[in-house]
Amino acid sequence: MAKKSILTVDDLWALQRLGTPSLSPDGAQVVTAVASYSMADNKATSALWLLSTLGGQPRLLTTGGEKDGAPRWSPRGDWIAFTAKREQEGSKDDTQQLYLIAPDGGEAHRAASVATGVEAFRWAPDGKRLVFISWVWPELKGAAAQAKKLKEFKDRKETGYVTSEAQYRYWDHNLPMGRVAHLHVLELGQPGRPARVRDLFEGTPYELGRAEPDAQHFDISPDGKRLVFAFDPAPEKRPDGRFALAELEFKSGKITVIARDAAWDFGAPRYSPDGQQVAFLASHQGVKHTMPSQLAVWHRDNGRWDVASSEWDHEVQAPLHWEDDGQAVLLMAEQQGRKHLWRFDLADKRAEVVVAGGWVGGFDKAAGTLVTLADSATHPGRMQAHLPGAPAQRIESFNDSLLADRLSAKVEEVWINGAAATEGGPRDKVQLWLAYPPGFDGKKKTPLLHVIHGGPHTAFGDVWHYRWNAQVMAAQGYVVAMVNYHGSSSFGHAFLDSITHRWGALELQDVEAATDWLLKKPWADKKRVFATGGSYGGYMVAWMNGHVKPGRYAAYVCHAGCFDWVGMFADDAYTWHAKELGGWYWNDMARVHAQSPHAYAATMRTPTLVVHGALDYRVPDAQGLAYYNTLKALGVDARLLWFPDENHWILKPRNSKLWYDEYFGWLKQHDVGAAKKP
């Protein structure tokens, strides 16, 4: 029997990554996009695969494109639609287009040529039409005018981006200059009749949201006569806009606002099976910006809506999927560091777990068959079929052979006493995930590595994380600690909201409490303790550098970390700052500085690796550069890893390998115990 080896960074990129599943109408087959990565070519490719829910081997469906994605089965089961950029009949796509392929194979064909491209889509119930999103110039009429304008824009010699909009960039890209996201209907071609495309919003003031609108922004009624969509009714679109719901009649083009409240933010609408109700997400932003998205339902008979999950202290996540009887909705929600698939009964207002995580990342249901995509801290995403009256069944094994030859780190969940959310109150229990090195020997001294999550209102869960993979980190010989500090999601709203207007305080107490707890273990080496984090986790290690006595941690790694809350105003979410910090910097500089790591630079002494990407608009790279420059000016041991072509995340295979090499190299450079080894 061959000896197993540890999991490496190269192994991470050799794993195939499964996309969201789409079930055939009879529930017998699943189509999903499977992404593969090449370290040699430094790029990703994706193809569509068919998986049987009844048994049998997966079948490769597409081979002609490099990035075939977002597949959806047609209502009649005769076509699978997907998005791609391909070359066909001598024409190469400049923008992403919509393609169709028969499920029994053959050549995919372009459904229509849309100059401004296709972002996301849904099938109409008759299977003869699709509705898709495309970014267009709202003042123009007709596809020919859009195509002409696009060509002129591409041919221009100027490179400047000009805008008067409050929202003009998102994540790693500027929003298309002068363009907005409109819904279009595509009527499929028939023999003797070409496909036809019509802009449903043309001549109206309506548009979809500007932050990467997708298929969750709209839905088509079961009778195919109407369409519901989420939109921002405010004249000026802002990153924190509060969305309303409107309904469009296909035949007349009439648009009616069906749900709007200035205090609420709505999204992800889905029609009930009879079309008489619309389920959607609703967040009561008028109360507080941290209010969770809840399950709400609009009723056609009286034109009113109500929050169904108001007594359920969970954040509801899209997509929403009605059960066939219209009595319940399937949804995903986190709970204590895990994400489950739930069934929410509307009559009883009661939620029950249908499929437990790990971390359920996607699902679909048709003809009584449920399929889920889920991962955990011990394995990447896997697809399972859940047939009525039968146990869950794996329907693929893409990564099994590789992982079978790799050692796995044991992952453990513990609870410790963390900070007290209220002054003088009891200390709250805080969740701590631990990943132990393969073959861990509790009798030997072992280094401790904190990995602090971002957000801050997210959580470290029972999840497979490609960019901060606990298995790969533990395989290097560290006990990896992941604290779900105050402010984390999945532990109720009060816990999440507890850090508002006092960033850094409770979170630091939680991390320090975890360190104290771990250092009491006989295996813990107190001279070999490290803390690393990204985004808000990067903020935390910068905060720790100014607040924790030097020597407590041997070194820090700050990836895409927030350093200066005034300088952070260049980010794409600037309207969020005052809500979290408690004031605008021009009105209350003292409060803002009290929560800003840069204000405590004078006490920073711990060696730090700073990592940042130039395309990071969520935490602009000037944050990382300012932190690095500050440390160098102070004479603190520091190293910079800067990527000109990465955003908030490191996504290219070779850059990821460099990231891990620098990460582990920095830790080993400051690991006193490791330095003594021959």
pLDDT digits (tens, 9 = 90+) for 599-623: 999 999 999 999 999 999 999 999 9
| Separation of alpha carbons 148 and 209, rounded Å | 25
pLDDT, averaged across the chain: 96
Same domain for 414 and 550?
yes
Amino acid code (one letter) for 611: V
Mean pLDDT, residues 182-187 taken together: 98
Residue 646 within any structural domain of the chain: yes
Percentage of the chain beyond pLDDT 90 is: 94
pLDDT tens-digit readout, 498-514: 999 999 999 999 999 99
Give yes or no: residues 658 and 540 share one domain: yes
Please state, in angstroms and as integers, the Cα–Cα distance from residue 406 to each residue in 42, 435, 471, following that order: 24, 15, 10
Lowest mean pLDDT among 89-98, 124-133, 320-329, 484-493: 89-98
Residue 277 covered by a domain = yes
Residue 195: inside a domain, yes or no? no
* Whether residue 604 sits in one domain with residue 463: yes
DSSP 3-state of 565: coil
Mean pLDDT (whole number) for 364-385: 98
pLDDT category at 549 given cuts 50, 70, 90 is very high
- 310 located within any domain: yes
Mean of pLDDT values over 567-590: 97
- Helix then strand count (H, E) for the chain reads 12, 41
**Axis crossing angle, helix 505-519 with helix 536-547, rounded to the nearest 10:** 80
Sequence-separated (6 or more) residues with CB below 8 Å from residue 349: 308, 309, 311, 312
Minimal CA–CA distance to 121: which of 42, 221, 217? 217
Q: Are residues 301 and 414 in the same domain?
A: no
Query: 270-292: per-residue pLDDT in tens?
Result: 999 999 999 999 999 999 999 99
Distance CA 276, CA 297 (A): 10
CATH number for 226: 2.120.10.30
pLDDT, residue 24, reads 98
Q: Is pLDDT of 302 > 80? A: yes
**Cα distances (Å, whole numbers) of residue 336 to 313, 316, 340, 456, 499:** 12, 14, 10, 15, 18
3-state secondary structure of 449: strand
Q: Which residues lie below 8 Å from residue 41, measured CB to CB, with a gap of 6+?
A: none
> Which residue in the block uniquely carries the two structure tokens 């990821």?
656
Q: Return the HEC string of 336-353.
A: CCEEEEEEEECCCCEEEE
pLDDT at 191: 67
DSSP 437: P
3-state secondary structure of 579: helix
- CB neighbours of residue 110 within 10 Å: 17
Contacts of 42 (CB under 8 A, 6+ apart): 652, 653, 654
Over residues 334-356, the pLDDT tens digits come to 999 999 999 999 999 999 999 99
Separation between Cα atoms, residue 44 and residue 319, nearest integer Å: 26
β-partners of residue 558 are: 533, 610
107-120 per-position pLDDT tens digit: 999 999 999 999 99
* Of the residues 282, 297, 320, the one at which a domain ends: 320
Sign of the CA dihedral running 537, 538, 540, 541: positive
Specify if 18 maps to a domain.
no
Q: How sure is the predictor about 68, in pLDDT bands with cuts at 50, 70 and 90?
A: very high
Same-domain status, 517 and 656:
yes
Q: Give the per-residue pLDDT at 192.
A: 65
Q: What is the pLDDT of residues 215-261, one digit of tens each?
A: 999 999 999 999 999 999 999 999 999 999 999 999 999 999 999 99
Nearest residue to 292 (alpha-carbon basis) of 500, 490, 453, 537: 490
Token reading at 511:
């991390």
Our count of domains for the chain comes to: 2
* Residue 82 belongs to some domain of the structure: no
Domain's final residue, options 320, 354, 388: 320
Residue 202, Cβ neighbours under 10 Å: how many?
17
| 79 contact partners, CB below 8 Å, separation of at least 6 | 73, 100, 101, 102, 103, 127
Specify the pLDDT at position 673: 81
Do 424 and 543 lie in one domain? The reply is yes
373-400: average pLDDT: 97
- CATH for 522: 3.40.50.1820
Q: Do 304 and 420 fall into the same domain?
A: no
309 and 418 share one domain? no
Whether residue 638 sits in one domain with residue 490: yes
Reply yes or no on whether the pLDDT at 677 is more than 50. no
The pLDDT score that the predictor gives to residue 678 is 34
- Label residue 14 by pLDDT band (50, 70, 90): very high
In a domain, 448, yes or no: yes
Q: Which domain holds residue 235?
A: 216-320
Does 660 share its domain with 512? yes
Residue 552 clears pLDDT 90, i.e. is over it: yes
pLDDT on residue 66: 84
Q: DSSP for 137-206?
A: -TT--SHHHHHHHHHHHHH-S--------S--EETTEEPPTT-EEEEEEEEPPBTTB--EEEETTTTSS-
Tell me if the bond preceding 456 is cis, omega within 30° of 0: yes
146 with 179: CB under 8 angstroms?
A: no
Q: Which of 255, 286, 320 is a domain's end point?
A: 320
Instruction: Confirm whether 348 is domain-assigned.
Output: no
| Tokens coding 2 | 């061959």
**Percent of the chain that is helix, strand, coil (3-state, to 5):** 20, 35, 45
Please, are residues 369 and 27 in contact by the beta-carbon 8 Å criterion?
yes
Residue 599 and residue 451 share a domain: yes
Contact yes or no for 499/506 (Cβ under 8 A): yes
Mean pLDDT, rounded, for 572-598:
97
Look-up of token digits 């790279």 = 621
